[in-house]
Amino acid sequence: MIDYEPTTGVIHLHNQLISYVLQIEPNGVLIHRYWGPNLRHWRLDALNQPERTGQTPVLADADIALGSICAEWPGGGQGDYRYPAFQMRQHNGSPLASLRFKALQIREGKPVLEGLPQFFVVSDDEAETLVLTLTDTTTAVEVTLYYTIYRAFASIIRRVEVRNLGAVPVRLDEIMSASIDLRPQAFDVIQLNGDWAREANVEREPVHTGTKVLRSNRGMSSAQQNPFFALVTPETTEQSGEVFGFALVYSGNFICRIEKDPNALVRAQIGIDSENFSWHLDPGAQFETPEAVLTYSEAGLNGMSQIFHQIIGQRLIPTRYQHMERPILVNNWEATTFNFDRERLLKIAKAGQAVGAELFVLDDGWFGHRDDDTSSLGDWVEYPGKLQGGLVGLSKTIHRWGMKFGLWFEPEMISQNSQLYRTHPDWRLCDPSYTPAVGRHQYLLDLTMPAVRDYLFERISAVIDLVGIDYIKWDMNRPMTDVFSCHLPADQQGEVAHRYVLGLYALISRLTARYPQVLFEGCASGGGRFDMGMLAYMPQIWTSDNTDAIARLRIQYGTSLIYPQSTMGAHVSAAPNEQVGRMTTIETRQNVATSGVLGYELDLTELTTADVDAVKARVKQYKQLRQLLQYGRMIRLRSPFETNEASWVIVDETQTQAVVFFTRVLAQANQLVMPLKLAGLDARADYRVEGRICGGDELMSVGLTLTPPRHQDFWSKMLVLERVSSD
C-alpha cells in the first residue's frame, strides 16, 4: 500500500480506491504531488513552477520557490506566504524553521497514539503507515508526519509529532494535523455550522481567492461549527462528483483553513486553532497533534459520507459497541425537567416498559440539592430525600421490570453553589484576578489538574458501583471562557485549552476502561460536541436539544454528512413540541426518530390510546429492523435544505431489506409530485413495497411516487422494502 522509490524520492500511498503521492526533492524539501483516484504509478516528475519574477523568493540552497509549489508540510518565513502548517518561536526569538527530509519508515498497521482518540487497526495487515521525519536545519527540532492508509477505505489518516532534540526550549505557535495543497481546480467548500438547537446546517459556497476560516475557539468542537469541511467540484451533487473530505478527531478548539492563492492553488488545513495556543517544548519534550482523516470520493457527498460512516463505525467506535443493538430508551427530561419524585419517574418508566422500551434514563436533578440549574454541579452524591427509597431502590425496581437504568452526569462542571466549590474554589478554570464569565450559572472545572480528574473518577465510579447503572449521559453545557489554570506556570498558559481536552480524554478513557459494560452517550446541550474525538469513547451522541421532528430533518440530514445514524440519539417528544411549539403526528415524530438511535423523551402516560398503540407498534418494528436501521448503509435522497421534502434510505449489506424515510414539510395546493428515485438497491432484484412488487432498477431509475394528502403539513412515511427474488 506504500511504495517508496529512493532514486526519485516518490512516495506513493495507494489502495484500490485512492492514491496519495508525495515526493522528497533532492534538497530534502517535501512536495505534495497528488491525491485522488487510484493511479497505478506516479511517473510525472517535472516540478511545475510558475514563472519567477523579482517577487519570487527562492531557497538559496535549492532551486525551489516555496511560495509557488504544492507543499506537503509548509513552514513559514522562507518565501511561502500562504498560511503555514507549522510555526515555532525559537529561544532567540526567531520564527524560522526550514524542515528537510531526514528519514522514513513504512510500517505495517498503525502505531498507537498516546492520550488522544484515534482510528485503530484490528490486524496489522489491513493498513500501512508512512512515518516521515523532517528536521530543522538549525534547531534540532524534528517533525514526524504520520500517514496511515487502510486497504479498505478511501481515506488517509494523518497526524504530526514534534520533538525538540536541541538543548534549549522552543515554543510551538501553530501546528496543523494535516495540510495539503490541491492543484488548480474550481472548488466549492461545504461546511456544517449552526448554534444551540439548530446544529449541522449544510452550507456551500465557491472557494474564492483569499482565505476562508471555519473554527471553534469555545474549548469544545461546538454546535457553531463542526470540525469538518469538504472541497467539492462545482458540479458535485449528493450522488456524483468529486469530494475531498476533511475531519478532525478532536473535541476542542480547531481550525479549518481553505486558502486559494493567486495561482489558484488551494491549500486546505485542519488542526488545533492557534488562537491562545502555544506549547512550550523543553529539550527532549514532544507534542502530538490530534488525528485528521482525509477522505476522497468520486461518488458525490453520499460517497464521502459512506466512507466516513464505515471508517467511524468500523475503526473508531470501540469494538465492543460496534454491532451492539442500541437500546430504545425513555428519558424523563422533557417530561419532568427537575420536578420529579419516585412515583412520577416510575410511572413514566412503567409506561416505557409497557411499550417495549429497554432503558430508563434519569436525567438532570438527582444529585446534590439540584432543583434547578443554579446549583450542585460537582456534588455527585444523591440528593438526600428527593427519591423515596433512593437511587438504589429506583434502579432495583427498574431492573426488576427487565429494563436497564441510566443516569445523567455533567462531570466537567462546577456550580458556585456547591459543596465542591466551597471546598475547592481553585478547581475552577479562571484567572483569579478577573471575575469569570458564567454560563448556565456554572463554570468549568480545571481538567488539566490530575486531582480534579481523580475526584471525578472516584465520584462517578462510586455512583456506578452503588446504584448499578448501565448507561451514562455525559453532558457539557457551556463553552470555555477564562482560559487560565492557577496550577500551570506563565509560559504554559497557552496550553490550557488543549490540556483540558487531554484531561477530558484521560478521564473518559479511565472510566470507559473500568466500566466497559456501561453505554456512554455524549451530549453538549445537544450536538455541541458531536465529533470523532468523543465517538472514539462513546458510540452515540445526543444530536440536538431540539426534538421537533421537522427541525430534526435538517439537523440529522446535516449530521449524517459525516456521522453514521448509529451515532445519532433521536427521541420522540411531546406535541406541541417544547422548543418550537409545533404540532406533528406521532407517525412523523417516530419516523424521524427511527432514522437514528430511537428513544422517547416525553410523559408516555399522557399519550392517547391510539398514540400508545402506534408507539408499541413502532417499538416492535424497530426491534425487528434494528440491525438494518442502526448499521445499514444510509443514502440521502432529498435535502430539506434545498426542497420542501426530506428523504433518505437505509439499505442492508446484502441489499435484501431497505427502509425509506420521506417527509414533506408544508402542504401545497396543486403540488408538483417528483418521483423519489431510490438508491443502493440491487438493480436486478425485485422488492416488495406496500404489497406491490417492483424492480430495484425501476425503483432507482423511475422512482416511487408518493402523494402526500393535500391538507396535511409535516406528512411523513416510512416504507419497508423486502427483496423477493433476483435473476
By annotation, the residues acting in catalysis are 475, 545
Residue 521 engages ligand GLA in binding (rule: CB under 6 A): no
270: which 3 cell numbers?
485542519
Are 403 and 360 contacting, i.e. CB atoms less than 8 angstroms apart?
Answer: yes
Residue 543 engages ligand GLA in binding (rule: CB under 6 A): no
Residue 477 engages ligand GLA in binding (rule: CB under 6 A): yes
Of the pair 68, 224, the CB lying nearest ligand GLA is at 224
Tell me whether strands 99-108 and 127-136 are parallel, antiparallel or unpaired.
Answer: antiparallel
Of the pair 363, 382, the CB lying nearest ligand GLA is at 363
> Cell 507534542 appears where?
287
Give me the least distance between CB of 230 and ligand GLA, in Å please: 27
Residue 523 engages ligand GLA in binding (rule: CB under 6 A): yes
CA–CA separation, 207 and 234 (whole Å): 10
CA–CA separation, 277 and 253 (whole Å): 9
Q: Which stretch binds ligand GLA (CB under 6 A): 87-95, 182-190, 417-425, 523-531?
A: 523-531
Residue from 261, 521, 545, 686 that binds ligand GLA (CB under 6 A)? 545
Residue 363 engages ligand GLA in binding (rule: CB under 6 A): yes
Residue 199 engages ligand GLA in binding (rule: CB under 6 A): no
Give me the least distance between CB of 341 and ligand GLA, in Å please: 18
Give me the least distance between CB of 324 and ligand GLA, in Å please: 22
The candidate with the shortest Cα–Cα distance to 604, out of 337, 399, 336, 393, is: 336
The candidate with the shortest Cα–Cα distance to 220, out of 402, 17, 568, 481, is: 481
> Cell 408544508 appears where?
666
Torsion of Cα atoms, 676 then 678 then 679 then 682, to 10° = -150
CA–CA separation, 252 and 188 (whole Å): 26
Give me the least distance between CB of 16 and ligand GLA, in Å please: 42
CA–CA separation, 136 and 19 (whole Å): 28
CA–CA separation, 13 and 4 (whole Å): 9
Give me the least distance between CB of 377 and ligand GLA, in Å please: 10
Q: Which stretch binds ligand GLA (CB under 6 A): 230-238, 493-501, 507-515, 519-527?
A: 519-527
Size of the site for ligand GLA (CB under 6 A): 12
Residue 333 engages ligand GLA in binding (rule: CB under 6 A): yes
CA–CA separation, 585 and 164 (whole Å): 62
Residue 408 engages ligand GLA in binding (rule: CB under 6 A): yes
Residue 475 engages ligand GLA in binding (rule: CB under 6 A): yes
> What residue is closest to ligand GLA based on CB?
364
Of the pair 531, 545, the CB lying nearest ligand GLA is at 545
Q: Which stretch binds ligand GLA (CB under 6 A): 185-193, 238-246, 522-530, 658-666?
A: 522-530
Give me the least distance between CB of 544 and ligand GLA, in Å please: 8
3-state secondary structure of 239: coil
Note the maximum CA span of the chain: 82
Q: For the chain, state the CA radius of gyration.
A: 27
Say whether the peptide bond before residue 708 is cis (omega within 30 degrees of 0): no
Read out DSSP for 143-159? EEEEEEEESSSSEEEEE
Are 479 and 514 contacting, i.e. CB atoms less than 8 angstroms apart?
Answer: no
547: which 3 cell numbers?
426534538
Residue from 494, 526, 527, 533 that binds ligand GLA (CB under 6 A)? 526
Give me the least distance between CB of 601 and ligand GLA, in Å please: 8
Q: Which stretch binds ligand GLA (CB under 6 A): 176-184, 233-241, 518-526, 647-655?
A: 518-526
Of the pair 68, 477, the CB lying nearest ligand GLA is at 477
Of the pair 349, 449, the CB lying nearest ligand GLA is at 349
Binding site for ligand GLA (CB under 6 A): 333, 363-364, 373, 408, 475, 477, 523, 525-526, 542, 545
